[in-house]
Chain A
Amino acid sequence: MSSTLIRAERPLFEGADWEFGTIQRSYEEIEKIALKEMGLDVYTNQIEVIGTEQMLDAYSSIGMPLFYKHWSFGKHFSRHEAMYRTGMQGLAYEIVINSNPCISYIMEENTAMMQTLVMAHAAFGHNHFFKNNYLFQQWTDANGILDYLEFAKDYISQCEERYGEVAVERLLDAAHALMSQAVHKYPRKRAADLRSEEKRERERREHDEKVFNDLWRTVPGKENTRQDPTAAEQRKALLELPQENILYFMEKSAPRLAPWQREILRIVRIIAQYFYPQSQTKVMNEGCATYTHYTIMNRLHEKGLLTDGAMVEFLSSHTNVVFQPEFDDRRYNGLNPYALGFAMMQDIERICTVPTAEDKQWFPHIAGCNDHMNVLRDVWANYRDESFILQYLSPRLVRHFSLFHVMDDSNEPNLRVEAIHDERGYRKIKQALAKQYDVSWNSADIQVVDVNLAGDRRLILHHRALNRVLLEEKDARLVLQHLADLWGYDVLMKEVDPATDAVLKEHSASPKPGIVRIEPG
């Protein structure tokens, strides 16, 4: 970085107090660094100053500025409020929303340094990530989300007026229970429009003409072996089975739901889909934001825009954020995504600028390229946690965190250490860690596999119990009940061992009235 050190005459602020002028000035200075020096690309920013209660409000509605009404949000609000009041939990300094314009909430009681930090972190770090990461581009519509939420809120409150709060609540309970099974994990094929259909047809014909050889017609072939699809296959094709997006399946195929009920399922499903990328990019998203604020704050200090006092305050706060307790520490609660993300981003910068021999061997394509911002921007745009760790976790970091891999097989009496931070372990650890961030490994793999259309219309689901880990039984039964209530007929879930296809456990549920009308018998 060409650090032309022109020191500012006056720092942006002194002391902890801030006013709107301070925020404006800080923002402008941050923007200069973020856009010109780091080359970030962000949505227009909207910074909203809020108070404690509003922050609690935002907490309980998954951070969204407007949301439909449901008792569970009241529950979360009460819980957070009680914890906050008794001092068991502090509040976040900011919340940022993936929308265009990108809304960042900042708390009124933050100090001036904190507001600067928060803007660098949220309004530029997260914002850049939201705008550029492929998952967010693929799955979320930042321009439309606020309008959609507004629509959802109105629609649901209209339904409450028309069909009663109780009916809507029952439906939302069921939908929320299935929310984690309500995402498409792969983009579906879009129906082609006429123009592209025609183009494809023409290309095929041209290809056929090019390779046409009359000789082939005379070669004796097999009899036409294509069989008619069986009834089961036909049915599955019709219902798009197997289907892992259970809520989608209910919306499209549940026989007894009213149109408004389908629409509400759709709303819940679309919101779940909107949050899907966030769960896959925790490490990267926080890593990107933390790296950004760290770089910006340091540059501000270099330029003389931050006082030494503010810088010390920043460093203390930053250190807390990226602190990683060790596994035998009382404070240990899993790997801290801020710590891991930030360390990996810094490590990439180091590999690009001052690579060691080891780095050159492991990362020949970036080692010593000296343009770390370019590499980082590319990483932020094209990876998710799993692929990012698989690609960029360096041996140096494995040593730094002293990572080790423990295998816990419930059939064995003891745990086994599979790999540690040594020459033989780097790759294993990297792969195992990446797997931990792979959504398809983390969440239960549940699919609708068949429906008995001819008989009792029973819905059959399979849970492929990866590594023989079954579902939490009590919860599973409750959710299955919700599912049966939506479907209107019996539901059967089999837990299958994917290795042997043996059925490990079965649960079933019969519908209760409440969501759809249940015929007696």
Chain B
Amino acid sequence: MHIVDRRLNPSGKNLANRQRFMRRAKAQIRKAVHESAGSRSIKDADEGGEVVLPAQGVNEPTFRRSSSGGIRDHLLPGNKEYIAGDTIQRPPRGGGGSGSEGAPDGEGEDDFRFALSREEFVDLFLEDLELPDLAKRRVVNAEALVYHRAGYSVSGSPANLALNRTVRNSMSRRIALRRPKPEELQALLDEIEALDPADEIKRLELQEEYARKKRRTGIIPYIDPLDVRYRRFEPHPKPVAQAVMFCLMDVSGSMTEHMKDLAKRFYVLLYIFLKRRYKNVEVVFIRHTHQASEVDEDTFFNSPETGGTVVSTALEEMQRVIQERYSPDNWNIYAAQASDGDNTASDNDKTAALLTKVLLPACQYYAYLEVGRDSEHFPPGFIRRDSDLWQTYSTIIRAGAPMAMRKVGHRRDIYPVFRELFAKKTGTEAAAE
């Protein structure tokens, strides 16, 4: 009998199988990922986690006998009242009455749930997406130093001893100073040994030479402190890419829960996306009615406000926060605004001016999301007028600003719209444009 302890064997034996499975079920996993992302809070939106796949598509079919029809025998334990010849009402399908046999292979048609790691999750989530402007990378502070190899030095810690270089130096020095090799000494000794005992003169000569060489070996060390070299490292400041994401939302009475939910989903996507590209992403929540304020996430989404709608207040608040904390020199600034499109008519010009003059030059990207009602339908012949904000922003976009806007009415549109906004524009322009 042997006992083998296998606990320390390398783990991850199943990784290759898992990757194959992920590749196989990619389309479905992707869909599941997007659905599950919606139900998370913004900050932990990019954690890995469990997703549920429909059993279709990754099932393994076999020839098996149908679970209905024909003549079947059931042998059941626990008879209490029946006697031979009794008839029993056929139980409804799926009821356990006469022992539903379940799927023969033990795997029902249940949905298939499994857990994704954080990387897998984000990878799938953001496949083929790209941030529009990543150019601005700034050095911020000294804690982001990285060390790069930079040649050799004569001093350093023993851990950094450059062995190859040291021995090379030592060898060239030994050759230059003609340090006798051990083989030479041995050869001399052998020669003395083999010498004719009568040849006294020759022997003395050789012995003297041997002594001289031996002394020389002692004087010239094998490795001299002069030879020793250390690997040198040079600190380099590392550009730390950091981003701040402004979430602007209209919270006036006209925004329904449904609209807020749509907006939240969009923010979640943007957050995950930025998080992926920048080490350090901060989020600022600004809500506004006829006045604006910076709030935390919970208040942002959950506490209702009443009042009119003046969009420019939010933009002013954003401007203030940027000036105070996020200098455009050091930060990549992204903004996402969600609104139902209402604005006080007199405020439109001010809004446009603020955006074009102050905010857009500071921003990498500004996305405006107009959220509509889930079941928005209009009587035939009714042409829907574009909202105030939509009209205002259209003129700005036409001028070629780094800005995009979309309308979204249903949850299922959020992700396509997001992809549309950030799709890689390589070669062919994204279809949506």
Contact = CB atoms under 8 A, between A and B. Distances in A.
Interface of A: 20, 23-24, 27, 31, 44-51, 53-54, 56-57, 60-61, 69-75, 77-79, 81-82, 85-86, 101, 105, 108, 123, 165, 169, 173, 176-181, 324-330, 332-335, 401-410, 413-422, 424-425, 429, 432-433, 435-436, 443-444, 446, 463, 465, 467-476, 478-479, 482
28 contacts: A49-B6, A50-B6, A54-B7, A54-B13, A69-B20, A71-B23, A72-B21, A74-B16, A78-B21, A79-B114, A82-B114, A105-B6, A326-B76, A326-B77, A335-B75, A405-B75, A406-B73, A406-B88, A407-B74, A409-B71, A417-B83, A417-B86, A424-B84, A444-B63, A467-B70, A469-B71, A472-B64, A475-B61
Contacts of A333: 102
B88 A54 contact: no
Given A27-B1, A75-B112, A169-B20, A469 B73 contact: no
Interface in B108-166: 112-115
Interface of B: 1-7, 9, 11, 13-14, 16-25, 50, 58, 60-80, 82-90, 96-99, 101-102, 112-115
A329 B99 contact: no
A444 B90 CA distance: 25
Contacts of B72: 407-409, 467, 469
Contacts of B67: 472
B29 to A, nearest CB: 10
- 8 smallest CB-CB distances across A and B, nearest first, come from A326-B78, A74-B21, A74-B17, A78-B114, A469-B70, A327-B76, A478-B61, A468-B70
A49 B61 contact: no
Contacts of A473: 66
Contacts of B85: 416-417
A interface, by DSSP: helix, strand, loop or mixed? mixed
A349 to B, nearest CB: 21
Contacts of B97: 328
B3 A23 contact: yes
Given A432-B75, A471-B65, 5 more contacts: A70-B20, A444-B65, A465-B70, A467-B71, A469-B71
Contacts of A475: 61-64
B68 A335 contact: no
A500 B209 CA distance: 113
A70 B71 CA distance: 37
Contact of A79 (B6, B89, B112): B112
A403 B79 CA distance: 6
A295 to B, nearest CB: 20
Given A471-B63, A472-B67, A47 B73 contact: no
A75 B71 contact: no
Contacts of A479: 61-63
Nearest to A80: B114
Contacts of A425: 84
Nearest to B88: A415
Given A402-B79, A404-B79, A85 B1 contact: no
B77 A402 contact: yes
A25 to B, nearest CB: 11
Chain A CB within 10 Å — which of B84, B97, B113 has the most? B84
A198 B82 CA distance: 64
Nearest to A85: B115
A70 B14 CA distance: 10
A48 B76 contact: no
A459 B64 CA distance: 20
A410 B90 CA distance: 10
B63 to A, nearest CB: 5
Contacts of A432: 73, 75
A242 to B, nearest CB: 16
Given A70-B17, A416-B85, A472 B66 contact: yes
A174 to B, nearest CB: 10
A469 B7 contact: no
A294 B389 CA distance: 79
B229 to A, nearest CB: 43
Given A73-B17, A406-B74, A468-B69, A47 B88 contact: no
Contact of B20 (A71, A329, A420, A468): A71
A401 to B, nearest CB: 4
B28 to A, nearest CB: 12
Contact of B17 (A60, A416, A470): A60
Nearest to A446: B63
A429 B113 CA distance: 40
Nearest to B20: A71
Given A332-B96, A475-B63, A74 B20 contact: yes
Contacts of A325: 78
A96 to B, nearest CB: 14
Nearest to A477: B61
Contact of B22 (A20, A60, A74, A180): A74
Given A49-B3, A402-B78, A327 B98 contact: yes
Nearest to A157: B16
Contact of A405 (B66, B73, B101): B73
B66 A416 contact: no
Contacts of A403: 75-77, 79
Given A44-B1, A468-B70, A469-B70, A420 B79 contact: yes
A420 B80 CA distance: 10
Nearest to A400: B77
A77 B82 contact: no
Nearest to A409: B71
A406 B24 CA distance: 43
A479 B97 CA distance: 32
Contact of B68 (A74, A123, A406, A410): A410
Nearest to B103: A472
Contacts of A436: 73, 75
Contacts of A406: 73-76, 88, 98
B158 to A, nearest CB: 38
A470 B7 CA distance: 47
B7 A413 contact: no
Nearest to A468: B70
Given A75-B112, A467-B72, A469-B65, A419 B84 contact: yes
Contacts of A71: 17, 20-21, 23-24
Given A46-B1, A74-B22, A406-B88, A327 B99 contact: yes
A69 B21 CA distance: 10
A13 to B, nearest CB: 15
B84 A49 contact: no
Contacts of A444: 63-65
A150 B206 CA distance: 66
Contacts of B7: 49-51, 54, 108
Contacts of B71: 407-410, 467-469
B60 A176 contact: yes
Chain A CB within 10 Å — which of B5, B76, B89 has the most? B76
